[in-house]
A = this chain, B = another copy of it.
C-alpha cells in the first residue's frame, strides 16, 4: 500500500474533544471518524488492526472447540421477553418497532439468541458440552459514551456461550476459556492484562472475571493485594474492617451543632477522628422512590453495586424533600422516622462500635456517645463498604490492598441456569430425566481492545503497535523520493518485501519533508521502519529501526529483506 493513496487525514493538533491519548492519537492518525455520539467509522489502518485482533480471537476460540456462528443484530422483543430482560434492562437496550409494528431490539449481548439457536438441538446429554461464538456488531445505547473506542454505543464484540450438564464441567471449561483469554492478550501484545474477580451485574450468575488493562485513564477501580494474588474489581471486593470498641461507652448526648451538615464538619467540630462517627447515606429505589438509608463508618464510602445486589433493585441518590420527614445533614440511627415505606441498613464497619457521633434526626443537633449495640440493638450488619487503599486483603488478611484504575478488555461469566431456565431449555440426562443446562458466557470488545493496546503502548507521537496487530508490519520512508537512486532502491525494497508476504506501507511522496514523513510514520505506528535516503545510500545502507526504539541498524540494501523477515518472525513468536 502506498501511503499517498491511504484514505484518511493525519494531523498534529490534539483534538479538543479527546480526553485520553488513544482517542486523540487514533483521530490524529486517520484511524477513525466521529459519526454520532458513541458511533464511529473506521479507516483502513484501524480496520486492519481490528481484523487482526478478530483473527487472533477466532483462532483461540476455535482452539477451545468453539464453533463460530452468527446471531442477528436485530432481534424480536419476544426473545428478550422470554428471559425477562426486555423489562429488566433499562434504556441502554435499544427498542423499536418495525414496519409491521412488531417490537424489536438491537442486540447488545446474545444470551437469548444463543439459547434460541440451540435449544431444540441440545435435547440430550450426549450433545454436551459445546460452545458457540460470534464476532459481530452490537449496539448499546450508552448514556455517556466516552474515550473514543473505550465506551461507545456501536461496537464489534466476540461473544461466546458454552453449555454444560454440570457445574464441574462449566468450571473446567471456564478455566480453559480463562487460559484462552490470557493467550489472546499475550498474542495481541498486552500480556500485562490481569484477570480480576468481578460482579456479574445484569448478566446473572455468580462467578465472573474481568480482564483488565491497568491504566490511569481506566473507568474501573481494581483492588490488588500487594501481598498475595488477590485481585478484584472494587465493585466486587469484600471490605474487611477491624472494628474497634472503647472500653467504656459514653452516655448518648445531644449536642447543638448549628451550620454543621457533613460528617467531616461534625468530627472537626468535636475534634474526633472520622472513624468515630456514623454517617448516613440516603438513596431512593428507582421503581417506587422509597427511601433507603445506610449507616456506615464516617471514613468509608458506599459500594453501590453491593447495595443494589443486596436490595435486588436499582437505586439513585435521594432527593430529600421536607415532606419525607428526614432532616438532611442531621440523619442518625436513633429515633429515625421517615414518612412512607423505607429501608434502613447498617454496614459491618459499625458492628459493635461505640462512642460515635451521628445525626440526631433534629435540625441543628447531633448525638455523641453512640453505642451501636446499646442504642441500635436490633441492627443487622452487612458489607456495603468500598474497599480502601491500604485496606485489608479479603484473602490473606494483610493491610496490603492498593487501588488501581483499569480498562475492562474482556469478561467471562459463569451464568448458571438464568437463561436456560427462563427460556425453557432442557435436555434428557442419561437416566431420561429432563434437566436444565448450565451456561457460561465470554466476551471481548474488539475495538476497545484495539484502543486499550494503543493506550498502553504509545508515546507522544503515536501508537506503538505490537507486530501481531499492527496495521502494517513495515513502514518504508523514501526520503527525497525525487532522487532517482532513492526511488529505485525503495521501490525495489517495497516489491521484494511484498513478494515475501510482508505487509508494507510505502511512503514515496516526493512532495513532503522527512519530518512530515516521520511524524506520519509515528502516527501509523508500524513496528519496523525502513529509511531509504540519499545520505544512507551514500554509505550504501538502509536504516532499519523499531517504532518502540528497541532497535536501530544500518544494513546493506541486499540484507534488509532477510533481516526484516527475521525480526517479524521473532516478534510474532513472542
Residues of A whose CB lies within 8 Å of any CB of B are 5-9, 30, 33, 35-37, 39-44, 46-48, 50-51, 65, 67-76, 79, 91-92, 94, 96, 98-100, 102, 104, 106, 113, 116-118, 120-122, 127, 130, 132, 134, 136-137, 139, 141, 143, 153-154
The answer to whether B35 touches A120, judged by C-beta atoms less than 8 angstroms apart, is: no
Besides A35-B76, A42-B70, A74-B154, 13 more A-B contacts (Cβ < 8 Å) are A5-B130, A7-B69, A7-B121, A35-B71, A36-B74, A37-B100, A37-B102, A39-B72, A41-B70, A41-B113, A51-B68, A74-B139, A92-B99
CA distance A36 to B105 in the complex (A): 12
The answer to whether B96 touches A69, judged by C-beta atoms less than 8 angstroms apart, is: no
A122: chain B residues within 8 A (beta carbon): 7
A43: chain B residues within 8 A (beta carbon): 67, 69, 117
What is the copy number of this chain in the assembly?
2
Residue of B nearest to A50 (CB): B70
CA distance A47 to B99 in the complex (A): 28
CA distance A37 to B101 in the complex (A): 12
The 10 closest A-B pairs by CB, nearest first: A96-B96, A42-B70, A36-B76, A91-B99, A44-B67, A39-B72, A99-B141, A41-B117, A47-B68, A9-B121
User: Which residue among A6, A37, A73 has the maximum number of chain B CB atoms within 10 Å of its CB?
Assistant: A73
Return A527 CB to nearest CB of chain B, in Å: 21
CA distance A75 to B153 in the complex (A): 11
A40: chain B residues within 8 A (beta carbon): 72
Between A and B, 5 residue pairs with Cβ closer than 8 Å are A35-B76, A36-B74, A42-B69, A44-B67, A50-B70
Return A98 CB to nearest CB of chain B, in Å: 6
Return A97 CB to nearest CB of chain B, in Å: 8
A121: chain B residues within 8 A (beta carbon): 7-9, 30
The answer to whether A137 touches B139, judged by C-beta atoms less than 8 angstroms apart, is: no
Residue of B nearest to A141 (CB): B99
Return A523 CB to nearest CB of chain B, in Å: 14
The answer to whether A44 touches B73, judged by C-beta atoms less than 8 angstroms apart, is: no
The answer to whether A98 touches B94, judged by C-beta atoms less than 8 angstroms apart, is: yes
Return A117 CB to nearest CB of chain B, in Å: 5
Residue of B nearest to A67 (CB): B44
The answer to whether B47 touches A70, judged by C-beta atoms less than 8 angstroms apart, is: yes
Residue of B nearest to A110 (CB): B41
CA distance A75 to B127 in the complex (A): 41
The answer to whether A117 touches B69, judged by C-beta atoms less than 8 angstroms apart, is: no
The answer to whether B79 touches A35, judged by C-beta atoms less than 8 angstroms apart, is: yes
Return A64 CB to nearest CB of chain B, in Å: 13
The answer to whether B68 touches A99, judged by C-beta atoms less than 8 angstroms apart, is: no
Residue of B nearest to A131 (CB): B7
A104: chain B residues within 8 A (beta carbon): 36
**Contacts A68-B47, A69-B44; A7 near B75 (Cβ below 8 A):** no
CA distance A104 to B127 in the complex (A): 42
A127: chain B residues within 8 A (beta carbon): 7
The answer to whether A141 touches B91, judged by C-beta atoms less than 8 angstroms apart, is: no
CA distance A47 to B98 in the complex (A): 26
